[in-house]
Amino acid sequence: MNKNTLSIAIIVLLLAIAAVNFLGPSFAEEKPAQPVASGAANTADSSAPAEGEAAPDFVLTSLDGEAVRLSDYRGKKVILNFWATWCPPCKAEMPHMQKFYEANKDQGIEVLAVNLTSIDKGEESVQAFVEEFGLTFPIPMDRDGQLGPQYQAVTIPTTYIIDTEGIIQKKVVGPMDEAMMQKLTSSIN
Amino acid sequence: MTLYQIGSITMPAVWIATLIALAVSAVAWRIISGEKIGEWYWNAFTLYFLVWKASYILFNFEEFMNFPMSVLYFNGGASGHMLALAALAVYLWMAVKKHAALSRDALPVLLLFFVGFEAALAMLEQQLAASVLHTILFVSIAAFLYISRKRAIAGSTQIYILFVLAEGLTLSIFQPLFSVEPLTFSWLALTAFALARFRKSEVIIHE
């Protein structure tokens, strides 16, 4: 390959890049949002909520005494989080979740942070935690310890990103920051 | 955003792709050049990682002060990525003055790393066309470097411009030019070209 051939190839590539960017459409490969049939999800317990499936409905009483039913939030995107006061990554995550909630509560996104009350240190400590972090989103209380296991919240925090149709789009184990919540909720319907 | 759950943590595909590319490029370079990859390669990655991680403190100061352990779980995000890339360029620019091999190796190694990263990421995100194109490009670059390792063309800047543009074209088929990955690639390419120039200017001075 001599220098002239190289120079011509360089110019052709430059023109091609310009053409692709300014003239042609973007060929970004859109992945189907749902249902997501992943091998790992299928091998799990069939009653366990998996990505691409409907989030099991529930009714719990929140910390301030109100009934919270998941299906009432149909039409909104929901971040369904499972946490406890003694869990350090949950502590790290809460300020990000509060910030995210404040910025997005009027944009059709709801945050439900289910406290695993049956394995937590009493409702006073949950109340103190909520006041300390200034949390304003609903805190449904899993007092009889049924919902956490049903949603496989074994390692906490565990979070489900649910779309406006009530379908689970993502399960995230471990803490998320505000940017990640933003990314995950903006990529779904 | 594709996430993989490994044990009790969730890892974005981007992190896994970075680790794969880091290892694959080091092995590929070992085969191509017959030498172990320079210490600068691992130093550069460690520096990138530390700045990216610790910049969480800078961009989330209040959260960090309230709960310092939060730095363990989070990172500086997109702003931290840019800060880390700047730190990387400064480190490499200082390192090239000590290690002449860095100037020779930076372009091929960074090119292999980035194209390898894109190939791995596309595979992890199950984007078939993108993963095939990036893999073909990675193999072509590696094969060219291996075949021409003892010829003068291996040191030609033009051939690297060609490869960088080929990667730029592949990238821009699948995403807008002004998004994080193409900008990161442009920055890495500029850094590598500057490092390669360093050797040339040095040689002229010594002659």
| CA-to-CA dists, residue A13 to B118, B134, B137, angstroms | 19, 16, 14
What contacts A130, CB < 8 A, 6 or more positions away? A63, A139
Nearest chain B alpha carbon to A16? B169
| Chain A residues lying within 8 Å of B72, measured CB to CB | 92
Mean pLDDT score across all residues of chain A: 86
| Chain B residues lying within 8 Å of A171, measured CB to CB | 5
Average pLDDT over residues A115-141: 95
User: How far apart (Å, rounded) are the C-alpha atoms in residues B126 and B140?
Assistant: 22
The pLDDT tens digits along chain B (207 residues) read 788 888 777 889 999 999 999 999 999 999 999 989 989 999 999 999 999 999 999 999 988 998 898 998 999 999 999 999 999 999 999 999 888 888 889 999 999 999 999 999 999 999 999 999 999 999 999 999 999 887 766 667 888 999 999 999 999 998 887 888 899 999 999 999 999 887 655 544 443
* pLDDT (0 to 100) of residue A34: 43
Map out the domains of chain A with their CATH numbers.
Answer: 32-186 (3.40.30.10)
* pLDDT (0 to 100) of residue A47: 63
Average pLDDT over residues A107-121: 95
Pairing of strands A59-61, A67-69: antiparallel
Query: In this structure, is residue B149 part of a structural domain?
Result: yes
* pLDDT (0 to 100) of residue A18: 82
How close, in Å, is residue B174 to chain A by CA atoms? Answer: 4
For the ranges A31-40, A130-139, B128-137, which has the lowest average pLDDT? A31-40
Closest CA to B191 of B75, B113, B78: B113
| CA-to-CA dists, residue A20 to A8, B122, B159, B161, B170, angstroms | 18, 19, 22, 18, 10
How close, in Å, is residue A120 to chain B by CA atoms? Answer: 20
Is the pLDDT at A171 greater than 70, yes or no? yes
Domain count along chain B: 1
CB contact under 8 A, B126 and A31: yes
The values of phi and psi at residue B22, to 5°, are: -60, -45
Interface test with B, best of A2, A82, A169, A173 (most B CBs within 10 A): A173
Burial of A24 (0-12, 13-18, 19+ CB in 10 A): exposed
* pLDDT (0 to 100) of residue B156: 78
DSSP assignments along A72-88, one per residue: GGTTSEEEEEEE-TT-H
Query: In this structure, is residue B81 part of a structural domain?
Result: no
Query: In this structure, is residue B2 part of a structural domain?
Result: no
Residue carrying the six token digits 């649910």: A162
Q: A141 versus A38: which is more confidently predicted?
A: A141
Q: What is the 3-state secondary structure (H, E, C) of chain B?
A: CCEEEECCEEEEHHHHHHHHHHHHHHHHHHHHHCCCCCHHHHHHHHHHHHHHHHHHHHHCHHHHHHCCCHHHHCCCHHHHHHHHHHHHHHHHHHHCCCCHHHHHHHHHHHHHHHHHHHHHHHHHCCCHHHHHHHHHHHHHHHHHHHHCCCCHHHHCHHHHHHHHHHHHHHHHHHCCCCCHHHHHHHHHHHHHHHHHHHHHHHHHHHC
| Chain B residues lying within 8 Å of A174, measured CB to CB | 8-10, 73
Q: A16 versus A85: which is more confidently predicted?
A: A85
Where does A50-121 have alpha helices with state H?
88-104
CB contact under 8 A, A184 and B1: yes
What contacts B6, CB < 8 A, 6 or more positions away? none
Query: In this structure, is residue B114 part of a structural domain?
Result: yes
Query: In this structure, is residue B121 part of a structural domain?
Result: yes
For the ranges A106-110, A182-186, B9-13, which has the lowest average pLDDT? B9-13
User: How far apart (Å, rounded) are the C-alpha atoms in residues A92 and A154?
Assistant: 18
User: How far apart (Å, rounded) are the C-alpha atoms in residues A127 and A63?
Assistant: 7
Query: In this structure, is residue B169 part of a structural domain?
Result: yes
User: How far apart (Å, rounded) are the C-alpha atoms in residues B120 and B109?
Assistant: 16
How close, in Å, is residue B158 to chain A by CA atoms? Answer: 7
CB contact under 8 A, A179 and B78: yes
Task: Considering only CA atoms, give the Rg of chain A.
Answer: 22
Query: In this structure, is residue B171 part of a structural domain?
Result: yes
* pLDDT (0 to 100) of residue A25: 52
Q: A120 versus A18: which is more confidently predicted?
A: A120
Contact call for residues B141 and B135 (beta carbons, < 8 A): no
Contact call for residues A110 and A134 (beta carbons, < 8 A): no
A101 in helix, strand or coil? helix
State which residues form the domain around B191: 103-207
Q: Summarize pLDDT for A38-87 with one digit per residue, the tens.
A: 433 333 344 678 899 999 999 999 999 999 999 999 999 999 999 999 99
